[in-house]
Amino acid sequence: METITSIRPLLAVLVSLLITPLLVVSGRKPNVREAWTFVAAVAKFLIVLSMLPAVLHGTEIVYTVVQFMPGAAIKFRVDALGMLFALVSSSLWIITSAYSIGYMRGLKEHGQTRYFCYFAICLSATIGAAFSANLLTLYLFYEILSLATYPLVTHHQDMEARSSGRKYLLYVVGASIGLVLPAMLICYDLAGTLEFSRHGILAGTAASRPMLFALLLMFVFGFAKAAIMPMHSWLPAAMVAPTPVSALLHAVAVVKVGVFSIVRILTGVFGIQLLSFFHFGTAVCYVAAFTILVGSFIALSQDGLKRRLAFSTISQLSYIVLGVALLSPKGMIGGMLHIAMHAFGKITLFFCAGAIFVATGRKNISEMVGIGRRMPVTMAAFFIASLSIIGVPPCGGFISKWYLALGALQAHQIGFLIVLLFSSFLNACYFIPITYTAFFCRPEEAMFENKVQEAPLFCVVPLVITAIISVILLFYPQPFFRLASMMVENITGM
């Protein structure tokens, strides 16, 4: 495995952080301020993209910022999995920034400068987490992300925001300080290092099976951003945030950092051999399967559109964990690929929810009867994105679910195959009716007079773009598929 040293990972992280003072200074001139956000977003995406050719060739890019102790440093390593995640989040930031403009201005929101500043900081932390070379760096960016998303979640500054903010902190920060921090230090004590390695660093250590299992559970539940039950309650509560926040952060960046961290723990800290030797993989699969099923059931019962999407996200995140925990190559490819497929699909769904809110002020599905007649573009995009999440062609989600199913077969786990298929069926049960009642209803049941139009252009264009990407990804899933396969080859091949 060739490695080259380059400062580009650090630059990718810093570019949005450095733009923040410029955002503050241009706060009085919204167009200038938004222009800076776009500059940062495009720059970040281009820097990430510039490292893609090297990664596809099998080279890893490293950069050490500062070394504290042997085995503990702030260090970046760009490998296939990190590149996959970074590409997804940086590309979606550009689109979300466009959407934010439409949304925030359409609703005449307050505190927009603060909003864009913290958004930039959050993306810095996300890319930092994606490129982390070791558990300490990952923990650092995970914490910064938790804290930087707080002002975004509590943007409205009312009583509901306050209590949701508390719940958010309790679960996310409480779990990371209470569970991940001690687990990380115990790992350091056992292994002498925290660097993610191909075989897992805990492989040769003198730890007993119960101790390792306890550590595994501490990590799986400690990374509460992955919303694995019972650490999931913060996600529906966080839906009080403005929709672009819910879209990018809670469908893409924040929750994906959670599952990404768990994937790193499974592959880089514990290692495939150790997990299969002790049958820990199966245990994690059970935990994930529980979340998948229960999340889908609860989603069925939700009337609030964003809440239904939140529970759907909780369920879909555990697909990623399940895929990797199956420990079979196809399952792992499916899980990692789902990071990308789910991101594009889910963000479209949230964009649609926000567009509906801007155009009509409605938040509940029962109030959205007949809206398809008035907002056909939005609802068409919603339909396509929901197909992707359900996992049927012609959308990209089909590929990841296909591989997950193959992975379950490869690991001889028919039970989990059934879980996957049943939960896809449940996904259909809670998504299709939304589109159906939006388009097909008797004229007298339609709840809207003629005057409701599509949401502003800045809202509609992004969601159309992400819906189209979801379709394109079925026919051309590169580079995500190649990156996922490379990563899996890397882990299992050696």
Instruction: Report whether the peptide linkage leading into residue 376 is cis, meaning its omega lies within 30 degrees of zero.
Output: no
Are the C-beta atoms of 341 and 481 separated by less than 8 Å? Answer: no
**Which amino acid does the sequence have at 134?**
N
Closest distance to another protein from the beta carbon of 194 (Å): 11
Q: Does 25 bind another protein (CB under 8 A)?
A: no
Q: How do strand 60-69 and strand 3-5 relate by DSSP bridges?
A: parallel
Q: Does 211 bind another protein (CB under 8 A)?
A: no
Q: How do strand 60-69 and strand 72-78 relate by DSSP bridges?
A: antiparallel
Integer Cα distance of 108 and 104 in angstroms: 6
Q: Does 214 bind another protein (CB under 8 A)?
A: no
Q: Which two three-digit tokens encode residue 319?
A: 């697909």
Q: Does 446 bind another protein (CB under 8 A)?
A: no
**Which amino acid does the sequence have at 187?**
C
Closest distance to another protein from the beta carbon of 201 (Å): 16
Which of 1, 2, 57, 66 binds another protein (CB under 8 A)? It is 66
Which of 166, 167, 363, 373 binds another protein (CB under 8 A)? It is 166
The count of residues interacting with another protein (CB under 8 A) is 38
Among residues 106 and 393, whose Cβ is nearest to another protein?
A: 106
Stretch that binds another protein, among 63-71, 78-86, 412-420, 481-489 (CB under 8 A): 63-71
List residues bridging with 110 in a β-sheet: none
Stretch that binds another protein, among 29-37, 38-46, 150-158, 275-283 (CB under 8 A): 150-158
Integer Cα distance of 435 and 379 in angstroms: 7
Which of 18, 43, 52, 169 binds another protein (CB under 8 A)? It is 169
Q: Does 165 bind another protein (CB under 8 A)?
A: yes
**Which amino acid does the sequence have at 480?**
F
Which of 185, 214, 441, 471 binds another protein (CB under 8 A)? It is 185
Name the residue among 321, 151, 324, 358 with its Cα closest to residue 238.
151
Neighbours of 453 (CB within 10 A): 10
Integer Cα distance of 119 and 140 in angstroms: 18
Q: Does 109 bind another protein (CB under 8 A)?
A: yes
Name the residue among 475, 385, 382, 389 with its Cα closest to residue 436.
382
Q: Does 181 bind another protein (CB under 8 A)?
A: yes
Which of 30, 178, 393, 456 binds another protein (CB under 8 A)? It is 178
Q: How far is CA 105 from CA 275, 399, 457, in A?
A: 50, 37, 12
Among residues 166 and 373, whose Cβ is nearest to another protein?
A: 166
Stretch that binds another protein, among 39-47, 161-169, 371-379, 451-459 (CB under 8 A): 161-169
Stretch that binds another protein, among 158-166, 317-325, 332-340, 478-486 (CB under 8 A): 158-166
Q: Does 173 bind another protein (CB under 8 A)?
A: yes
Q: Which two three-digit tokens encode residue 2?
A: 């060739």
Integer Cα distance of 308 and 303 in angstroms: 7
Q: Does 140 bind another protein (CB under 8 A)?
A: yes
Integer Cα distance of 419 and 411 in angstroms: 14
Among residues 68 and 444, whose Cβ is nearest to another protein?
A: 68
Which of 147, 211, 217, 369 binds another protein (CB under 8 A)? It is 147
Name the residue among 335, 418, 345 with its Cα closest to residue 388.
345
Neighbours of 478 (CB within 10 A): 9
Which of 110, 209, 279, 412 binds another protein (CB under 8 A)? It is 110
Closest distance to another protein from the beta carbon of 408 (Å): 37
Among residues 393 and 456, whose Cβ is nearest to another protein?
A: 456
Integer Cα distance of 434 and 274 in angstroms: 44
Q: Which positions touch another protein (CB under 8 A)?
A: 66-69, 74, 107-111, 136, 139-140, 143-144, 147, 151, 154-159, 161-162, 165-166, 169, 173-174, 177-178, 181-182, 185-186, 188-189
